[in-house]
Chain A
């Protein structure tokens, strides 16, 4: 059987399809409940899928990823609260549409845009992943080290308002990655004589703590009674011919934006959605409608954020660098299954790459079907009291972590990571670079040491690929710093994150138009 047949038949296996359906259900539910992110759900599910076959486990994890991408639009449109950060831009036009009695139309437009976004990005994944992996096969130690540094710096520069805090978080992650035995000599490092630490920190325990427990603790700490009631009058569902036409241009633009943003390591759907929405508004003939219930706006936001899925798969599977936080978790699970994402995956397990693409496409098509069924049930689910969700998440975190090693020590690591994650969240340190540092730290160190043994420090600058990537890494760190310094010199306020800039600009424009009236 060739890899194509083998990969497809693995996906069409009834158990795999069942796993896919369970993943979609879980993912959609995760998306519907604000505060539970896709990375949190995938991290949690990782503990449960370790005993499954890799394709079955990937079916669960990838379909959660896809399902959450559809589910998170529902509260964004009906309650003005994104189910996950990827749906932030959906609220800009989705909720105004719902308030105008067009919630059903907004849900359908959002589902169609998301479907096109994911499917087009998957086509790009199918076409581009193998050539990228082939190119990456030529990477030696200096290129691999430079790639890791580049991935880390991109994540640092986009995930934190403070570059210093972002770099510090990345350094902490890299340091955590040194706990255990040295990869070359086997010397014990930071183990304090504890046997449990000699194998290093368990990656799944750390991410469940940082993404799951920390998020849950933050919700407990800040919980207030929800005042906004979901809009239950959904109105008409299907777009008219004119509305379909309106969707075309923003769809094409935002899908391209989403794929490019997705390829950038660590830049996820939230950033893509905001950029896609902003760019679509910039080229639209109906700029003034954006933010007031524009079909173009919702199409652009959802098309862009969904198209990141294929983009981040390219980075993850072809280079072994996580495209976003969900993919970081996915890499952790794959490593536990004995699979190493990266260029070698395409030569060693080509059938698995086919399975991954097939799972994503099947999950997307099924999700579209689910999304087009009237979602009154989902609206009712949003009324479920938080205490059920909190207690379920907490026990799932504990049990899911325990099953990774069948050792309470892992659960203790998870709980400590959760508390540390909460402190980081409250003090402005991003969790993403910590996870990426922990994941990529051993890779960075091993390649750095090999490269230095080959030709000393000059090798990083004499090899063109590593030199370019290190230069790009420096640019990724320096550009935000320079922008801040320039803003400070001009006496303007620090622009903050992209989300803040867009929000501030939209508020300013709203105030201006109000004063003009």
Chain B
């Protein structure tokens, strides 16, 4: 019985042949994450200090809470950075390994979504949506008339009917 192999996080393949988990991992990803966090939280702190106040009220000002959060975030990011520099990193066992085709699929899906967001207001939902659904289906590996034409048209029709007719939300 191997409960670990049954999770969606996909632990299969992460355990080596001897049944032991690998104990070392590259240091740079955690350092990069920590540096990014330092930059972002530092920016929050600076921006929070720059909030313009219209009224001076007693107690905390609108600037105080964001400043506290920025400072807290920066402090935590620095701890993250020190930990990344000092402590030997453990391999990340929460994520399945990515694949090159996976990256291509992801980038194409993001590009298709951005294109849909741009094209939809310029045309109409019933024009842009089937093309978008067809594109995403193709990116996912769908082929043939049923996947690339019939399904996108049916999906668009169903969405249009649900919103325009049933929920009375114009698309």
Residue numbers of A with Cβ under 8 A of B are 34-35, 48, 51-52, 76, 80-82, 85, 88-89, 91-92, 95-96, 161, 164-165, 167-168, 171-172, 174-175, 178, 182, 184-190, 216-218, 220-224, 291-292, 385-388, 390-392, 394-396, 398-399, 402-403, 406, 408, 411-412, 415, 419, 425-428, 445, 448-449, 452-453, 493-494, 496, 499-500, 502-504, 506-507, 510-511
Contact = CB atoms under 8 A, between A and B. Distances in A.
B102 interface: yes
B161 interface: no
Contact of B37 (A96, A168, A426, A504): A168
16 contacts: A167-B76, A168-B76, A178-B69, A187-B51, A187-B62, A189-B48, A218-B95, A221-B105, A387-B137, A388-B151, A395-B129, A415-B114, A419-B110, A499-B4, A503-B7, A503-B11
B16 interface: no
Nearest to B11: A503
Given A91-B3, A187-B53, A190-B47, A171 B117 contact: no
Chain A contact residues: helix, strand, loop or mixed: helix
B117 A85 contact: no
B99 A224 contact: yes
B137 to A, nearest CB: 4
Contact of A388 (B37, B147, B167): B147
B159 A222 contact: no
B140 A168 contact: no
Contact of B136 (A89, A174, A395): A395
A395 B133 CA distance: 7
Contact of A82 (B7, B55, B121, B147): B7
Contacts of B110: 217, 415, 419
Contact of B65 (A48, A96, A178): A178
A220 B132 CA distance: 16
Contacts of A398: 113, 116-117, 132
Contact of A91 (B6, B11, B138): B6
Interface of B: 1-8, 10-11, 19, 23, 29, 33, 37, 41, 44, 47-48, 51-55, 57-62, 65-66, 69-70, 72-73, 76-77, 79-80, 83, 90, 92-99, 102-103, 105-106, 109-110, 113-114, 116-117, 120-121, 129, 132-133, 136-142, 147, 151-152, 155, 159, 162-163, 167-171
